[in-house]
A = this chain, B = another copy of it.
Amino acid sequence: MSASVGLRRVLEPAGVLPQAAWRLDASPEIAADEVRIAVKRLNLDAASFRQLSEKHGGDGAAVRAEVLEIVGTRGKMHNPVTGSGGMLIGVVEEAGSESPLGLKPGDRVATLVSLTLTPLRITDALAGWDGKSEQIPAEGTAILFGRSVVGVLPDDLAPELALAVYDVCGAPALTDRIVREYERDVTVTVLGGAGKSGSLSLAAARLAGARTTAIVRDEAEAASVREAGLADAVAIADARNPVAVAEAVGDPATITVVCVDVPGCEHGAILATAPGGTVIFFSMATSFPAAADGADGLAADVTMIIGNGYVPGHAEFAVDLLRRVPAVRRLFEARIAGH
């Protein structure tokens, strides 16, 4: 087990897994169970990009410099403030003889594990990126371990589109699973229903039989969700304001899915969920103590789940949703074109 989870790549501190490490060895030589990828594009986690962009007041050159510094220092794109990463696409350069991933040189792939644990070396100084979008054209190398998750890119989706979908593909798969655990008359509220994970979660919830409500932040987002017909109801509220969220939702939902990448959404989600219900937190900006103490303080009998980015079959599930629900595909394409 030790080898397959990448322990040999951990430089400091010793004894932790690559995600917890401060610094990884990103050198391109691979061990027998590793795979080396020629990187083509990075997709930063939304919370990470937002933090960097806000820190530098939208100065793209400064954002780019900080990303380069993080990768150079840590051997991975692991934002030390948000603790989050993102993912990448590329082409397999070399697969070790003992790699169980079934990849061969030339395969176009997306990594479905976080950049926070992926050894990464950048060789083009990110010259093709303006620092103003979470999608980064890049050249360099990345390493996959034996126990890793990777998706071969589908032929019918542009790489940028596949990457954007894969980045959040745990959300619709887990939403689907939780909806099906309840017997009937399930209602699902998605905070941040106009975003990537939000729109996929809305689509998954409806296909699993739930009645859905999207909470969005402004009229423009509300219009886009309404036009796409993505939810049975749409309401506007600041997700950080618990009272506003509870009022916008009305009757508490069976399941609340949090897809808003800003801190402070825990209490609204808890207040908006019915007793016996479930809150699924997908935002990396979620605070563990705020959620735990919040539910306690509100005497809220709700199950709170940490959104696990891995559910077996999640990548195929999300791509299938995109094919079945053209409105979701259009939202994703518009989002990518907008950058």
CB within 8 Å of B: which residues of A? 1-2, 5, 7, 15-20, 82-85, 112-114, 116-117, 147-149, 170, 240-244, 246, 264, 266-267, 271, 281, 284, 286-312
Contact = CB atoms under 8 A, between A and B. Distances in A.
Copy total for this chain: 2
A198 to B, nearest CB: 17
A301 B311 contact: yes
A290 B114 CA distance: 11
A192 to B, nearest CB: 16
Pick the most buried of A17, A85, A271: most chain B CB atoms within 10 A of its CB: A17
6 contacts: A15-B244, A16-B242, A19-B297, A116-B297, A292-B309, A301-B311
Nearest to A112: B296
Nearest to A264: B20
Contacts of A284: 288-289, 292-293
Nearest to A48: B289
Given A267-B17, A308-B303, A116 B293 contact: yes
A70 B85 CA distance: 34
A309 B289 contact: no
A161 B153 CA distance: 59
> Closest 3 A-B residue pairs measured CB to CB?
A296-B309, A83-B289, A304-B306
Nearest to A115: B293
Contacts of A286: 288
A288 to B, nearest CB: 5
Nearest to A150: B299
Contact of A295 (B16, B264, B300, B308): B308
B307 A306 contact: no
Contacts of A116: 289, 293, 297
Given A19-B297, A281-B306, 9 more contacts: A83-B293, A85-B293, A147-B299, A281-B288, A295-B306, A295-B308, A295-B309, A302-B308, A305-B306
Contacts of A293: 19, 83-85, 114, 116-117, 284, 309
A84 B289 contact: yes
Nearest to A2: B243
A234 B87 CA distance: 39
A324 B291 CA distance: 31
A281 B295 CA distance: 14
Contacts of A267: 16-17, 19-20
A307 B114 CA distance: 24
Contact of A290 (B83, B308, B310): B83
